[in-house]
Amino acid sequence: MTPRPIAAAPAESLESVAFDAALSARIDEMLARYPTRRAAILPVLWLCQERFGWISPGVMRAVAERLGESPAFVEGIVTFYTMFYTSPPARYVLQVCTTLSCAVCGGRELVEHLKRRLGIGFGERTADGSFQLIGVQCLGACGGAPVVQINDDYYENLDAARLDAVLGELEGSR
């Protein structure tokens, strides 16, 4: 099984966002779980990120309006939490753990290998939009160090060869 690629909506399409009936119904489901509308902000942002691939200012405005918050408040939330993308991500986002257990168990070498292989640094994406590299803090899977999260999936006990195989598979799956 390979991770589902992210299909990020182009920025132009997200300048002004209206939720369709399906998404709106999911948002209503989330709202029903909490006594306040504000509490649904993280679930709603997650729904939006699943749908659009990232959270544009237009999405923030739409979420703010739906939840009765100011857009600035929503942007404060989006930027506090590291997992919301504020620019369109690549198809596959590689989040490499850089924290202690991973670092001492070969994580550092893995990072070097990835940067060389993809020709990009942390925070960058490959020219074809396939891969994006992010250095992250502890992923909570230290027993399987070193760990890389690709989109939603964890890959543990990695070394250069195993990672290459995974990347090869992802490149082939396009």
Angle between helices 41-52 and 71-80 (to 10 degrees): 80
Distance CA 158, CA 146 (A): 6
Q: Does 122 bind another protein (CB under 8 A)?
A: no
Q: Which stretch binds another protein (CB under 8 A): 20-28, 109-117, 146-154, 164-172?
A: 146-154
Smallest gap from Cβ 113 to another protein, in A, equals 19
Q: Are strands 92-97 and 148-150 parallel, antiparallel or unpaired?
A: antiparallel
Q: For residues 128 and 152, which CB has a smaller minimum distance to another protein in the complex?
A: 152
| Candidate residues 143, 161, 172, 174; the one interacting with another protein per rule CB under 8 A | 143
Residues 64-93 that bind another protein (CB under 8 A): 67, 69-77, 79-84
Check residue 134 for interaction with another protein (CB under 8 A): no
Interatomic CA distance for residues 165 and 122, integer angstroms: 21
Number of residues in contact with another protein, rule: CB under 8 A?
52
Q: Under the rule (CB under 8 A), what is the footprint of another protein?
A: 33-36, 38-43, 45-46, 57, 60-61, 67, 69-77, 79-84, 95, 98-101, 103-105, 137-145, 149, 152-154
